[in-house]
Amino acid sequence: MIARHKFLCALFFVLLFGSAHAESPLAQPEPHARPPRAAIASANSQATDAGIEILKAGGNAFDAAIAVSATLGLVEPESSGIGGGAFMLLHIAANDQQVFIDARERAPLAATRDMYLGADGEPLRERSINGALAAAIPGLPAGLVHLAKRYGKLPLAASLAPAIKLAREGWTFSSKNAAMLGFRREVLATNPAAAALFLANGQSPKPGDRLSNPDYAAMLQRLAENGEASFYEGKFAQSLVDGVRAGGGIWSMQDLASYRVVERPVLRIEHRGQQIITVPPPSSGGVALATMLNIMAGFDYVKLPRVARIHLLTESMRRAFRDRALYLGDPDFVEVPVALLASPEYAAGLRAGIHPTKATASAALPGIGDFSDRPSTSHFSIIDTDGNLMAMTQTVNLPFGNAFVVPGSGFLLNNEMDDFSAKPGTPNAYGLVGEDANAIAPGKRPLSSMTPSFVIGPDRIAAIGTPGGSRIITMVLLGILDLMDGGSAEHAAALPRLHHQYLPDVLSAEPAALDESEISELQAMGHTVSAGERSWGNMQVVVWDKQANTVEAGSDPRWKGVGKASTADDGVIFR
């Protein structure tokens, strides 16, 4: 009765005075249609600068993405490159469309389900991690060509020019390069072409040293002039196949010639009145995000005390990662029940099994029985002054990929084959387990955790992503929640991190993420907490606030001085 009375009063008020919105002195101004400036956040300042150069030359966010991507492949070889793959998420402002370009690597056609198992049936991890047999067929070269042709404003040659110049004239070795090299030095030293690139005279370069890579410049130049055929067919392809086979790999010319990028529909998640746009399989990230956010949507978690909220987040993570292990794989090969897994109804069922104050043991969930914090893989986020957005995550998998360079090529190959489940239930380098859905098959794409995403709210629009193996998904989840709470790009990138991935049944926490009393409370609930772990991730975020008409970029402070977030604050204004 009272509600009805209030409604009638409100109606009367509106009839008398017009819409409350129009009359209110607090009425929101119309959101701005275009960002006042462009912004780029990437894991290396040389890559950010390359992207800025292309924006200044009249390129859009997608042209800039090509420049950033090709430069990262040169200056951050431990993380990603031409010998690897990528997921690209585009927001095209002109028609308000989003596109997902899947440039993920594919298993060679001669790959077999048990190719990494020894005579005793156990995985021989060495083979899926180091050397030519670990390499899947690269997708990034085809991805860059596709991006330029379909979505760029500039010719590919223009967008690749900054990376070509840097490869010829020399790029600057960073403290991050040095840290990662220390980690893979021994394996790199076993491959003469890799050693020639990264261990000249048997020495690791020092931060600040300048290195050139004429082979890389020549390869990009050919890509610019002759498109993807220059990589996937003919003489260069033959040299790659010969080099890989000489190293014990199984690539064929047909593998390269038949590689195609795939455009797939994006995954959309509604949460607290905002839209999250993210990537579907062969990424596991989008589906897991949907599961976690949908579970959380049934709790009034914003109002809960911190520990209760962390408990519920952990339980959501645990359940999403169990489903990842059971159901997710390359959708071109296995039927992935995406609509079901991403539905609120399914999440409601999972939520019902969550106790408000007690951890569920992962072993108690029906189902199956560390490199994880090394930031190989690279993410960058870009917004241009037309409002186009790019979130792109690219990878060669583990630091320095498979540590194998085909002589004369100028780039490392990936070890993405390790992202398959070599044996059901046996963990890979990220401790991830999988089942049949992610078993190896010829031409199949290994399941990925890369989760480039957009958050589209009524006032603010953001692009976000990070490296970090299995932890990518939970980092992006926490980053999205922070952005939805109004966090700045820098705040979201800096946020202390927590992670649970079902197996091992452990809640991992960065040093600043939990205090002693929170750890005790979580332990009392039954959680196994591993606190004070080395930090992880390398998040790059851009945010456009349409109401305030501001653009900001945030680069993960964990690699301060290596990554770079650039906006007009640096004196770069594009119109």
Binding residue for ligand DON (CB under 6 A) from 377, 394, 488, 550?
Answer: 377
C-beta closer to ligand DON: residue 132 or 473: 473
* Closest distance to ligand DON from the beta carbon of 135 (Å): 13
* Closest distance to ligand DON from the beta carbon of 571 (Å): 33
Helix (H) or strand (E) holding 454: strand 453-456
d(CA 9, CA 1): 12
Helix (H) or strand (E) holding 515: none
C-beta closer to ligand DON: residue 274 or 284: 284
Output the 3-class SS for 167-225.
HHHCEECCHHHHHHHHHHHHHHHCCHHHHHHHCHHHCCCCCCCEECCHHHHHHHHHHHH
Binning the chain into helix, strand and coil, the percentages to the nearest 5 are 40, 15, 45
Binding residue for ligand DON (CB under 6 A) from 64, 187, 450, 513?
Answer: 450
d(CA 211, CA 234): 29
* Closest distance to ligand DON from the beta carbon of 473 (Å): 9
d(CA 55, CA 51): 6
What count of other Cβ atoms lies within 10 Å of the Cβ of residue 573? Answer: 12
Catalytic residue among 48, 314, 377, 567: 377
Measured in degrees and rounded to the nearest 5, phi and psi for residue 507 equal: -95, 110
* Closest distance to ligand DON from the beta carbon of 501 (Å): 12
By CB under 6 A, tell whether 73 contacts ligand DON. Answer: no
Query: Among the candidate windows 235-243, 371-379, 495-503, 521-529, which touches ligand DON by CB under 6 A?
Result: 371-379
By CB under 6 A, how many residues form the interface with ligand DON? 15
Cβ-proximal residues to 551 (8 Å cutoff; 6+ apart), any chain:
35, 36, 37, 38, 39, 383, 542, 543, 544, 545, 567, 568
Output the 3-class SS for 506-556.
CEEECCCCCCHHHHHHHHHCCCCEECCCCCCCCCEEEEEECCCCEEEEEEC
* Closest distance to ligand DON from the beta carbon of 285 (Å): 8
- On the CB side of 175, how many CA atoms lie within 13 Å of its CA? 6
CB 111 within 8 A of CB 104: no
For residues 191-220, one letter each, b for 16 or more C-beta atoms within 10 angstroms of the residue's C-beta and e for the rest, the string is bebbbebbbeeeeebeeebebebebbbbbb
By CB under 6 A, tell whether 106 contacts ligand DON. Answer: no
C-beta closer to ligand DON: residue 377 or 508: 377
Structure tokens at 120: 């005793």
Query: Among the candidate windows 9-17, 27-35, 150-158, 375-383, which touches ligand DON by CB under 6 A?
Result: 375-383
Query: Among the candidate windows 54-62, 126-134, 235-243, 369-377, which touches ligand DON by CB under 6 A?
Result: 369-377
d(CA 277, CA 464): 10
Query: Among the candidate windows 61-69, 137-145, 349-357, 445-453, which touches ligand DON by CB under 6 A?
Result: 445-453
* Closest distance to ligand DON from the beta carbon of 51 (Å): 21
d(CA 335, CA 322): 17
C-beta closer to ligand DON: residue 384 or 416: 416
C-beta closer to ligand DON: residue 159 or 449: 449
Binding residue for ligand DON (CB under 6 A) from 77, 247, 375, 487?
Answer: 375
Annotated catalytic residue 385: no
Q: Which residues, numbered 388-407, are part of the site for ligand DON (CB under 6 A)?
A: 395, 397
C-beta closer to ligand DON: residue 374 or 444: 374
CB 137 within 8 A of CB 255: yes
* Closest distance to ligand DON from the beta carbon of 207 (Å): 21
Query: Among the candidate windows 70-78, 249-257, 291-299, 444-452, which touches ligand DON by CB under 6 A?
Result: 444-452
d(CA 516, CA 436): 41
Cβ-proximal residues to 126 (8 Å cutoff; 6+ apart), any chain:
none
Amino acid letter at 486? G
C-beta closer to ligand DON: residue 393 or 550: 393
Beta bridge partners of 271: 274
By CB under 6 A, tell whether 128 contacts ligand DON. Answer: no
By CB under 6 A, tell whether 448 contacts ligand DON. Answer: yes
Binding residue for ligand DON (CB under 6 A) from 71, 177, 376, 402?
Answer: 376
Binding mask 317-356 for ligand DON (x = CB under 6 A): ----------------------------------------
Query: Which ranges of 93-139 does DSSP label H, i.e. alpha helix?
Result: 125-129
C-beta closer to ligand DON: residue 123 or 375: 375
Amino acid letter at 527? H
By CB under 6 A, tell whether 419 contacts ligand DON. Answer: yes
Structure tokens at 298: 């049934």
* Closest distance to ligand DON from the beta carbon of 416 (Å): 6
* Closest distance to ligand DON from the beta carbon of 35 (Å): 29
d(CA 454, CA 283): 15
CB 375 within 8 A of CB 174: no
C-beta closer to ligand DON: residue 397 or 501: 397
* Closest distance to ligand DON from the beta carbon of 467 (Å): 4
C-beta closer to ligand DON: residue 419 or 490: 419
Measured in degrees and rounded to the nearest 5, phi and psi for residue 29 equal: -70, 160
Q: Which residues, numbered 224-283, are part of the site for ligand DON (CB under 6 A)?
A: none
By CB under 6 A, tell whether 374 contacts ligand DON. Answer: yes
By CB under 6 A, tell whether 115 contacts ligand DON. Answer: no
d(CA 460, CA 276): 12
* Closest distance to ligand DON from the beta carbon of 93 (Å): 28
The SS3 of residue 325 is: helix
What count of other Cβ atoms lies within 10 Å of the Cβ of residue 366? Answer: 7
Binding mask 452-481 for ligand DON (x = CB under 6 A): ---------------xxx--x---------
C-beta closer to ligand DON: residue 59 or 85: 85
Structure tokens at 200: 């000249």
Cβ-proximal residues to 58 (8 Å cutoff; 6+ apart), any chain:
153, 154
Instruction: Give catalytic residue positions.
Output: 377
Q: Which residues bind ligand DON (CB under 6 A)?
A: 374-377, 395, 397, 416, 419, 448-450, 467-469, 472
